[in-house]
Chain A
Amino acid sequence: MKSITPLYKPLALAVGLALASSTAVAGDDLESLRQTVAQLQKQLAEVQKKLEEQEKQAATTHEEVKKVAEVAASADEWKAPSTLVHMAGYADVGYVSSEGSDGSFIVGTFAPIFHFQYRDLVMLESELEVEVEPDGTAEVGLEYLTVDWFVNDYMAVVAGRFLSPLGQFRQNLHPSWINKIASAPPGFGHDGAAPTSETGMQLRGGFPLGAMRANYAVYVGNGPELNAATEDMENFELEGVRAEGFGNDRDGNKVFGGRFGLLPMPGLELGISAATGKARVTALEIEAAGGDEGKNEPGEAGGFDYFDEADRDYSVYGFDFNFSYRSLNIRGEYVNTEVGEATTGLTASEGASWSSWYTQASWRFLPGKWEAVARYSDFDAAVNSRDQKQWALGLNYLYTSNFMAKFSYEFNDGMAGSEADEDRLLMQLAYGF
């Protein structure tokens, strides 16, 4: 109503002027003026009515906006639904050049991780691993797939195919955005001294221990399978342990193991790991004198059949530590895998052992964006051609905490003429998401 008031002023002025001049005008003029005033009054009434309608409409709109705002403020169910879906993971690309071959650009790994969580009861976790092969094809693997049941505050049951809980590198450090050197320490990659995956069930958790903290993982799983090799089908030797989470327990013997970690103070963790069980040769490589090689899987030629092979003793033990103080991090790990002898079966032979250790120091400098890394590793395999001592030096630039450029150089010392003896330059862009 207030907004209409100013309109009365010119109207009053017009009326006043009309009245003041009424004595000087003729009757027709007066009638004309009356008609004009009446018309103005009519128009004013219409304007007033429209304004009142607009004010009512504005009030209604205001109420509606207020209601929408209230509903929007309370509509927070998306923030905490019972079921959550989340994707994380990591990827890396880079360039590798070694003494024995020309340099090549490579796509290291694309590893998406999927999380499906129902409240605080259960989570399904799965990591795929996509790698581009030298021939341009892509290979897809299932790194792990587990159902994690959060039983109580101190225990989770983790069932399925999981990363080996023995030691630290395989279960926590191998993603490229976490590993500070652009390669795994010798013996801690696939087919090395340390088991990579297991299929079975484990119990994991943590608990306070006085002023200290502790964590644990114990598991039972299908266990590994063994590779044997021969040149003459008379003498055999163990060549490798494949501990990669087989989905079928072909030897029928389970492996039991676990790790216990102690954190006596912030920044320091000490861990011990062990596993024991049985394993059987399930693949035989026939290394012909001419250099041709063949691998005989069950039921193939060569008289080899894993059903006839003996179950061998299998054991793993290891230690690890990790220490951080501000910009400095020092960590190390040792793992030893022993396989016993077999006196029966086609590949009957002596036992063998694989061991490896590494220690690594890293330091962040120049307000935390640059990182210098030095790592020493010593891998002692059952086959001498795979033995390797390595110094790896690295310089990393951290664009963010989870995106970095890595420049690494490996000084390798292995059997002369073997790949294990070739120095390598590695450059890598790694992104954890």
Chain B
Amino acid sequence: MKARNGLILALGLQALLLMLAGTVQAFDYPETGDFARGSKIWADNCSRCHNIRSASELRDDQWLTTSFHMRVRAGLTGQETRDVLTFLQRSNVPLKKIVADTPSTASTGRSGEAIYKETCIACHGADGKGAFPGVPDFTRKDGRLSKSDAELLKNVSNGVQSPGSPMAMPPKGGNLELTETDVRNVISYLRQQFGQ
């Protein structure tokens, strides 16, 4: 009787797998995800279980394997996994020691607020106080916004390691498409929204 039940179970599983095989989605590998969504998913999910780890801790190819491992562990969807992978790989950029090589005065056409909500909000939070431990609090009177525009421009453009932060902010927050004008717009938004 048990042997028959086992056979039925095994056949059922085989049928299920064959059925599932028909629904396999083929995606180009590795398909590029969405940077902004990835940063938010990264900030919201990774710290559910462990400390946030910096994008610079692993090579890009190591992040690929790690992301798929975490997909299984954390119950992420395939799209969420690709988004997080894109965020980590694009953020895996060494800090620069000089101001951006080719400063551009052209703007991508997005406002400082829009750029903040796309690129910065995952780590710095909607209220500018930092989404997780170690991220600077923009609302502090003696905080980051007490620095000059020139210094903020340099830090945002080149990236910066804040004391106690688990991860250095990559150049332009990892969004290398941003121009100098875009960065200036974001700094203006920060001062307007969170400045004292």
Question: Which residues of chain B are near A88, meaning CB under 8 Å?
Answer: 66, 69
B164 touches which of A80, A120, A369 (Cβ 8 Å): A369
Closest A-chain residue to B89, C-beta based? A79
Q: Are A367 and B66 in contact (CB under 8 A)?
A: no
The complex places the Cα of A125 from the Cα of B129 at a distance, in Å, of 38
- Interface status of A373 (Cβ within 8 A of chain B): no
Q: Are A115 and B69 in contact (CB under 8 A)?
A: yes
Given known contacts A123-B65, A207-B77, is B134 in contact with A152 (CB within 8 Å)? no
Binary CB contact string for chain B from 37 to 80 against chain A (1 if under 8 A, 0 otherwise): 00000011001111111100100111011101101111111111
Given known contacts A117-B68, A269-B48, is B75 in contact with A204 (CB within 8 Å)? yes
- Interface status of A343 (Cβ within 8 A of chain B): no
- Least CB distance from A12 to B in Å reads 47
Closest B-chain residue to A268, C-beta based? B48
Binary CB contact string for chain A from 357 to 387 against chain B (1 if under 8 A, 0 otherwise): 0000000101111000000000000000000
The complex places the Cα of A82 from the Cα of B60 at a distance, in Å, of 14
- Interface status of A246 (Cβ within 8 A of chain B): no
Q: Are A401 and B44 in contact (CB under 8 A)?
A: no
Given known contacts A220-B9, A368-B165, is B50 in contact with A178 (CB within 8 Å)? yes
Q: Are B78 and A120 in contact (CB under 8 A)?
A: yes
Question: Which residues of chain B are near A216, meaning CB under 8 Å?
Answer: 75
The complex places the Cα of A153 from the Cα of B82 at a distance, in Å, of 10
Q: Are B65 and A152 in contact (CB under 8 A)?
A: no
Q: Are A401 and B69 in contact (CB under 8 A)?
A: no
The complex places the Cα of A208 from the Cα of B17 at a distance, in Å, of 23
Cβ < 8 Å to B, chain A residues 157-184 = 157-158, 168, 171-173, 177-178
- Interface status of B100 (Cβ within 8 A of chain A): no
Given known contacts A86-B66, A88-B69, A402-B53, is B23 in contact with A152 (CB within 8 Å)? yes
Q: Are A152 and B24 in contact (CB under 8 A)?
A: yes
- Interface status of B195 (Cβ within 8 A of chain A): no
Given known contacts A79-B61, A204-B72, is B77 in contact with A401 (CB within 8 Å)? no
Q: Are A368 and B61 in contact (CB under 8 A)?
A: no
Closest B-chain residue to A400, C-beta based? B166
- Least CB distance from A180 to B in Å reads 10
Question: Which residues of chain B are near A201, meaning CB under 8 Å?
Answer: 13
Cβ < 8 Å to B, chain A residues 107-131 = 113, 115, 117, 119-120, 123, 125
Q: Are B29 and A367 in contact (CB under 8 A)?
A: no
The contact size tier of chain B is 35 or more
- Interface status of B93 (Cβ within 8 A of chain A): no
- Interface status of A305 (Cβ within 8 A of chain B): no
Q: Are A205 and B77 in contact (CB under 8 A)?
A: yes
Question: Which residues of chain A are near B64, meaning CB under 8 Å?
Answer: 80, 84, 117
Question: Which residues of chain B are near A266, meaning CB under 8 Å?
Answer: 43-44
| CB contacts between A and B, total, < 8 Å | 144
- In this complex, the member of A120, A364, A402 whose beta carbon has the largest number of chain B beta carbons within 10 angstroms is A120
Binary CB contact string for chain A from 81 to 107 against chain B (1 if under 8 A, 0 otherwise): 110101010000000000000000000
- Interface status of B20 (Cβ within 8 A of chain A): yes
- Interface status of B6 (Cβ within 8 A of chain A): yes
- Interface status of A151 (Cβ within 8 A of chain B): yes
Given known contacts A253-B2, A322-B48, A327-B133, is B53 in contact with A84 (CB within 8 Å)? no
Q: Are A172 and B73 in contact (CB under 8 A)?
A: yes
- Interface status of A254 (Cβ within 8 A of chain B): yes
- Interface status of A247 (Cβ within 8 A of chain B): no
Q: Are A172 and B49 in contact (CB under 8 A)?
A: yes
Given known contacts A86-B62, A115-B69, A208-B77, is B166 in contact with A368 (CB within 8 Å)? yes
The complex places the Cα of A167 from the Cα of B179 at a distance, in Å, of 47
B77 touches which of A86, A154, A400 (Cβ 8 Å): A154
- Interface status of B112 (Cβ within 8 A of chain A): no
The complex places the Cα of A329 from the Cα of B21 at a distance, in Å, of 40
Question: Which residues of chain A are near B76, meaning CB under 8 Å?
Answer: 206, 215
Across chains A and B, which 8 residue pairs bring their CB atoms closest together, nearest first?
A215-B75, A367-B164, A153-B78, A368-B134, A368-B133, A206-B75, A86-B65, A364-B133
Interface positions of A (Cβ within 8 A of B): 78-82, 84, 86, 88, 113, 115, 117, 119-120, 123, 125, 148, 150-158, 168, 171-173, 177-178, 201, 204-208, 214-217, 220, 252-254, 261, 266-267, 269, 322, 324, 326-327, 329, 364, 366-369, 398, 400-402, 432
8 A-B pairs with CB atoms under 8 Å apart are A78-B61, A80-B61, A84-B64, A151-B23, A157-B17, A324-B132, A326-B129, A432-B50
